[in-house]
Amino acid sequence: MIPAYNCIAYLQEAMESVLAQDLGPERMQIAVIDDCSTDGDVGALVESVSKGRIEYFRHEKNRGSLRSFETCLNRSIGEWVHILHGDDRVAPGFYTEIATLFSKYPEAGAAFTNIAFMKREEIFVDTPLTNMSKIIDDFLIQMAKSVKVQPPAIVVKRSVYEQLGGFFAVHYGEDWEMWTRIAAHFPVAYSPKCLAYYRYLTNDSITLRSIGDGQNVRDIIKVIDIIQQYLPDNLRKQLKKIALRDYSLYCVSLANHLYPTDPKSAFVQARGALMMSTDIKVIYSVLKFYTKDILRYNKF
């Protein structure tokens, strides 16, 4: 299921990455869910690329990411559900590897692979969680601290969504909550093979807009609070503190990254970091960011 909104520049690549591994309509449903995009004729592109192989559904009006994911789940008919954002892609062998994981670990509620991050022309491969395919030990605890999986890399059993429900509450970080909720109820299988690609911080992305106005900070605070209910009582306070600290440090890294081209958003992230955590590492990192700003200002 491929949710798409104003990502027509990348959608063909996403669709072709799936079509290259097409098992046929009897075994694989492929659908694009268009959230009323305004950057081009998505339906025409789907038809041109897939020659009728890919289903196309368009919302009558823009409904936002949560409702798009809901439509993906409601219109899916397969035993396993893969939500592949329209600006991401999968590598050859992705679906074979996922099938191998589910076959080897039938108790798993979800399975995912290692991932690479795409930023413009650069690709960064994430550090594998393990060096072998396995059920991830203590995955719930790991997820309570920070995100360990990105959407294009994970496939979830339909029965799991039916039991636990879909995405809710926020528009940024909704996947973190979902994967953590799954980890609280089911084993999760993993392969260290890098077979999925996640595109981030593109100029027109929903993610970047959330970062620009600080919505990411507000939503992540809510997500971390929701995750608390999935954790053992004796670990909640400790894990929440770690999660807030680690995301705060991520906000500072975003601030440093954004500063040369978007200083306004950079300061939003720096302030958000301090709002989330007063850990000494966070305070030091924010002070370092502001010191660099002062030095840059004096230089000019």
- Distance between CA atoms of residues 187 and 167, nearest Å: 19
Q: What tokens appear for 23 in the block?
A: 């098992």
Q: Where are the domains of the chain?
A: 2-199, 208-295
- Distance between CA atoms of residues 140 and 160, nearest Å: 16
Quote the pLDDT of residue 259.
94
Whether the pLDDT of residue 207 is over 90: the answer is no
Whether the pLDDT of residue 300 is over 50: the answer is no
- Distance between CA atoms of residues 23 and 16, nearest Å: 13
Q: What is the DSSP letter of 15?
A: H
Calculate mean pLDDT across residues 163-183.
97
**Is the entire prediction scored with pTM above 0.85?**
yes
Which segment of 52-56, 104-108, 265-269, 290-294 scores lowest on mean pLDDT? Answer: 290-294
CATH number for the domain running over 2-199: 3.90.550.10
Whether the pLDDT of residue 140 is over 80: the answer is yes
Quote the pLDDT of residue 64.
93
Each residue of 43-70: pLDDT tens digit?
Answer: 999 999 999 999 999 999 999 999 999 9
Quote the pLDDT of residue 78.
95
Number of H helices, E strands in the chain: 12, 10
Calculate mean pLDDT across residues 237-258.
97
Q: What is the DSSP letter of 89?
A: E
Quote the pLDDT of residue 201.
63
Confidence band, pLDDT 50/70/90 cuts, at residue 293: confident
Quote the pLDDT of residue 45.
98
Report the alpha-carbon angle 91-94-95, nearest 5: 140
| Ramachandran region, residue 28 (left: φ > 0; alpha: ψ -120 to 50; beta: rest) | beta
Quote the pLDDT of residue 255.
96
Whether the pLDDT of residue 115 is over 90: the answer is yes
Residue 144 main-chain phi, psi, to 5 deg = -70, -20
Calculate mean pLDDT across residues 233-240.
98
Quote the pLDDT of residue 204.
54
Which segment of 20-34, 115-129, 227-241 scores lowest on mean pLDDT? Answer: 115-129
- Distance between CA atoms of residues 200 and 118, nearest Å: 6
